[in-house]
Amino acid sequence: MILNSAEYNNLHRWNLRHWKKTGICELCNLEKKTQWSNKTNRYLKGVRSDWQELCAVCHHKYDVEHLGKKQSIGRPLKGPITRYPNGRRMRVPDRVYSYAWWPKE
């Protein structure tokens, strides 16, 4: 499942609001700045067992190893080309894979 950045942000905010983080990574057990990581790629809202609290390092590793996310961190998929009023054409990224797009806490 691929979410766009708005959907990601909404889920992330929901998690932060409803689930208190411990500040300890569930994989390496170190006390670090943690993020909510989705375990199954299903992004089930409100289902705690579908999520885990990981540090950034483990989060990225988990996503690559278990979810097959091969995109490098934060790089958006290519979106449609849009022409701006000044005549420039740019690709607008509309879908992202990575937690790096999630809002900073």
Shortest separation between residue 6's beta carbon and Zn ion, angstroms? 27
User: Per CB under 5 A, does 55 bind Zn ion?
Assistant: yes
Among 36, 51, 58, 101, binds Zn ion (CB under 5 A): 58
**Three-state secondary structure along 79-96?**
CCEEECCCCCEEECCCCC
Shortest separation between residue 24's beta carbon and Zn ion, angstroms? 9
- By three-state DSSP, how is residue 15 classified? helix
| Ranges within 61-100 binding Zn ion (CB under 5 A) | none
| CA angle, residues 38, 19, 48, in degrees to nearest 5 | 45
Shortest separation between residue 74's beta carbon and Zn ion, angstroms? 19
Tokens at residue 53, please? 């609290």
Residue 22-41 contact track with Zn ion, rule CB under 5 A, x = bound? ---x-xx-------------
Which residue type, as a one-letter code, is found at position 59? H
Residues of the shown chain interacting with Zn ion in the complex, contacts defined by CB under 5 A: 25, 27-28, 55, 58
